[in-house]
Amino acid sequence: MVDFRVVVSDSKSGQAYQITASGPAANKFIGKGIGDTVGGDAVGLAGYSLKLTGGTDKDGFPMRADLPGPGRKKIFVAGGVGYHPKAEGVRKRKSMRGREISSDTAQINAVIVEYGQKPLSEIFPKKEKEEKKE
């Protein structure tokens, strides 16, 4: 069985929420790629629509939108997702994951495209900070 951490970002409030998708809900993500839209019911957000923006695999390698397929490949990059050179013109060969979600994916990043009836503040209540005992 596949489990994903889905990080859902709300552009209106600037908040991000981490949700675990497992079982049949996680299977709705397999085969989808970066830029695809998925129904929010897969992660318990009924009525919401999510656009997939990226993610990482189980070893921490980032997904890259311009790399086809689900596999990991070593590519020669000069910048963008997964590599930020310190000087201009520096290029490097880096391992990156393709744009398609597979069972090797650990985290999926998504942004809300369409909002549902219920506000996010009701779905994800604020956690009270525990006071430190000294």
What per-residue confidence (pLDDT) applies to 133? 60
Convert the pLDDT of each residue in 45-72 to its tens digit: 888 999 999 999 999 999 999 999 999 9
Which pLDDT band holds residue 128 (cuts at 50, 70, 90)?
low
What per-residue confidence (pLDDT) applies to 130? 60
Q: Is pLDDT of 107 > 80?
A: yes
What per-residue confidence (pLDDT) applies to 96? 95
Per the document, the length of the chain is 134
Convert the pLDDT of each residue in 59-106 to its tens digit: 999 999 999 999 999 999 999 988 999 999 999 999 999 999 999 999
How far CA 55 is from CA of 29, 44, 110, 126, in Å, comes to: 12, 19, 9, 25
Q: Please give the Cα distance from 74 to 77 (Å, whole number).
A: 9
Mean pLDDT of the chain: 89
